[in-house]
């Protein structure tokens, strides 16, 4: 029998998250790899989901999403960013942001088109682009003054006549960078000069620290009409398993994305949509407390990792801390993370798997801090065995 998997997907086996989470279970290690909290979201929101199930909201909701959620998203975009979106034609509810990215790329890219993404990038981006038979063009982010950033000249040089879109993730997973207005302006000007669409993954929009401002690319002059703005409830409300996301964009772009999305999952779970609509209106104070707590956890983990011998870069957002493993005498993050459960009883993620040019990220390892304090403390205690 010939290889059943189509050639364009053969490079995408089991994700690194599945591999490392399975390793954590097999070895009884602490999992600081996959980015999911070990506590639940706001209780009143969870109650709304239970009430929705009990009241019969268990059949197909409308294809674009429950109207109440689309209205709540519209209110949220207007209140926080001054970006009005019409619930009737400019908002689409999706099964998480991952589906929103995939549907957007499939809808907007022809075979052979090029999509620029900043590496290291979230692994679903490459898979979505491959499914569309398009080509990912990676622009490398490098540490500079304690944070990862990109070279504007390298970004401009990456654009060719085949470039269709730029995929922008800010706050950025896995580096923790929150793009500045200056960085976003470079992207915006390039999109307008070259007629490009921007697809923005903003799932960590409410999880930026130290007073750093998250600026949606769509708020920059001339960008609302060419931006597919994506977010979700998973990270904002600590319900990553609900897989409730959304797209905000002009009608033509939303229609294109929905045309594809309807044949992927048709529609998204109604009870979660109703609960998220409630949360967007009533639980943002809870989110502010979550953000403050995560900032403390970030600092707690950074201090512990530094004491364990890692060189640590301070993230401005997300759930993740990037570390340089070379001070500990290691040079290959993939090798180290596969050995780490045996060496220290901890699981992490090798950053190099998120690069088209893995040699540029071979010495970085990512740790998640969206865990209980006692879990972070125990993990740090175990990691100190490495320096010994």
Render pLDDT for 173-184 as a digit per residue (tens, 0 to 9): 999 999 999 999
Mean pLDDT to the nearest integer, 329-344? 96
- Distance between the two ends of the chain, CA-based, in angstroms? 51
Give the per-residue pLDDT at 14: 80
**Dihedral, CA of residue 188, residue 190, residue 196 and residue 197, to nearest 10:** -20
Q: Which residues pair with 320 in a beta bridge?
A: 368
Give the per-residue pLDDT at 216: 98
Query: What tens digit of pLDDT does each residue of 26-39 get?
Result: 999 999 998 889 99
Token digits of residue 132: 């569309």
Whole-number average pLDDT of the chain = 97
Token digits of residue 268: 């998204």
CA 243 vs. chain centroid, Å, equals 13
Give the per-residue pLDDT at 326: 97
Mean pLDDT to the nearest integer, 372-376? 97
Measure the CA–CA gap between 384 and 367, rounded to whole angstroms.
Answer: 14
Measure the CA–CA gap between 248 and 226, rounded to whole angstroms.
Answer: 11
Measure the CA–CA gap between 63 and 36, rounded to whole angstroms.
Answer: 28
Give the per-residue pLDDT at 102: 98
In terms of DSSP H, where are the helices of the chain? 16-27, 43-54, 67-81, 96-108, 123-131, 152-158, 181-194, 233-236, 251-261, 270-282, 284-307, 333-344, 373-383
Give the per-residue pLDDT at 223: 98
Give me the residue label for tokens 């239970």: 50
| Confidence check: pLDDT of 359 > 90 | yes
CA separation (Å) from 230 to 57, 90, 205, 227, 277?
Answer: 25, 12, 10, 9, 16
CA 355 vs. chain centroid, Å, equals 15
Contact 323, 312 (CB under 8 A): yes
Confidence of residue 316 (pLDDT cuts 50, 70, 90): very high
By the 10 Å C-beta count (0-12 exposed, 13-18 middle, 19+ buried), 1 is classed as: exposed
Pairing mode of beta strands 349-350, 364-368: antiparallel
Residue-range domains of the chain with CATH: 7-41+285-386 (3.90.1150.10), 59-281 (3.40.640.10)
R_g of the chain, CA atoms, integer Å: 20
Confidence of residue 17 (pLDDT cuts 50, 70, 90): confident
| Confidence check: pLDDT of 151 > 90 | yes
- pTM value is 0.96
Measure the CA–CA gap between 181 and 198, rounded to whole angstroms.
Answer: 15
Query: What tens digit of pLDDT does each residue of 189-243 get?
Result: 999 999 999 999 999 999 999 999 999 999 999 999 999 999 999 999 999 999 9
Task: Please give the DSSP secondary-structure letter assigned to residue 143.
Answer: E
Contact 370, 39 (CB under 8 A): no
What percentage of the chain reaches a pLDDT higher than 90? 95
Pairing mode of beta strands 135-144, 147-150: antiparallel
Helix axes 16-27, 333-344, angle to 10 degrees: 20
Give the per-residue pLDDT at 373: 97
Pairing mode of beta strands 135-144, 114-119: parallel
| Confidence check: pLDDT of 136 > 80 | yes
Confidence of residue 93 (pLDDT cuts 50, 70, 90): very high
Query: What tens digit of pLDDT does each residue of 117-126 get?
Result: 999 999 999 9
Give the per-residue pLDDT at 16: 87
What are the φ and ψ backbone dihedral angles of 37, each rounded to 5 degrees? -70, 160
| Confidence check: pLDDT of 3 > 90 | no
Query: What tens digit of pLDDT does each residue of 266-293 get?
Result: 999 999 999 999 999 999 999 999 999 9
CA 365 vs. chain centroid, Å, equals 17
Measure the CA–CA gap between 293 and 296, rounded to whole angstroms.
Answer: 5
Instruction: Judge if the upstream peptide bond of residue 220 is cis by omega within 30 degrees of 0.
Output: no
Confidence of residue 150 (pLDDT cuts 50, 70, 90): very high
| Confidence check: pLDDT of 388 > 80 | no
Mean pLDDT to the nearest integer, 82-102? 98
CA separation (Å) from 35 to 165, 282, 337?
Answer: 27, 25, 16
Confidence of residue 15 (pLDDT cuts 50, 70, 90): confident
């Amino acid at each position: 029998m010939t290889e059943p998997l189509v050639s364009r997907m053969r490079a995408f086996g089991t994700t690194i998250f599945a591999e490392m989470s399975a390793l954590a279970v097999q070895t009884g290690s602490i999992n600081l790899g996959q980015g999911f909290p070990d506590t639940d979201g706001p209780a009143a929101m969870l109650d709304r989901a239970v009430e929705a199930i009990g009241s019969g909201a268990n059949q197909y909701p409308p294809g674009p999403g429950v109207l109440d959620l689309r209205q709540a998203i519209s209110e949220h975009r207007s209140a926080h960013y001054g970006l009005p979106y019409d619930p009737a034609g400019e908002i689409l509810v999706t099964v998480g942001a991952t589906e929103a990215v995939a549907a957007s790329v499939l809808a907007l890219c022809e075979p052979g088109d090029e999509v620029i993404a900043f590496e290291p990038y979230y692994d679903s981006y490459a898979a979505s682009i491959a499914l569309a038979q398009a080509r990912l063009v990676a622009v490398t982010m490098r540490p500079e003054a304690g944070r990862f950033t990109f070279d504007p000249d390298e970004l401009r040089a990456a654009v060719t006549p085949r470039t269709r879109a730029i995929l922008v993730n800010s706050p950025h997973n896995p580096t923790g960078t929150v793009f500045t207005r200056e960085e976003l302006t470079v992207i915006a000007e390039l999109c307008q000069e070259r007629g490009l669409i921007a697809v923005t993954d903003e799932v960590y929009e409410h999880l930026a620290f130290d007073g750093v401002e998250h600026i949606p690319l769509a708020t920059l002059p001339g960008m609302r009409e060419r931006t597919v703005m994506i977010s979700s409830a998973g990270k904002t409300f600590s319900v990553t398993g609900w897989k409730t996301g959304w797209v905000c964009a002009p009608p033509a772009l939303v229609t294109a994305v929905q045309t594809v999305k309807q044949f992927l999952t048709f529609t998204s779970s109604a009870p979660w949509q109703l609960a998220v609509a409630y949360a967007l209106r009533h639980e943002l104070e809870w989110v502010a407390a979550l953000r403050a707590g995560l900032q403390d956890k970030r600092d707690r983990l950074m201090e512990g990792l530094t004491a364990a011998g890692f060189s640590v870069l301070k993230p401005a957002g997300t759930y993740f801390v990037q570390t340089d493993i070379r001070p500990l005498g290691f040079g290959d993050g993939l090798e180290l993370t596969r050995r780490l459960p045996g060496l220290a009883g901890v699981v992490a993620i090798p950053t190099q798997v998120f690069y088209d040019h893995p040699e540029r990220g071979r010495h970085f390892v990512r740790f998640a801090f969206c865990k209980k304090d006692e879990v972070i403390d125990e993990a740090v205690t175990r990691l100190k065995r490495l320096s010994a």
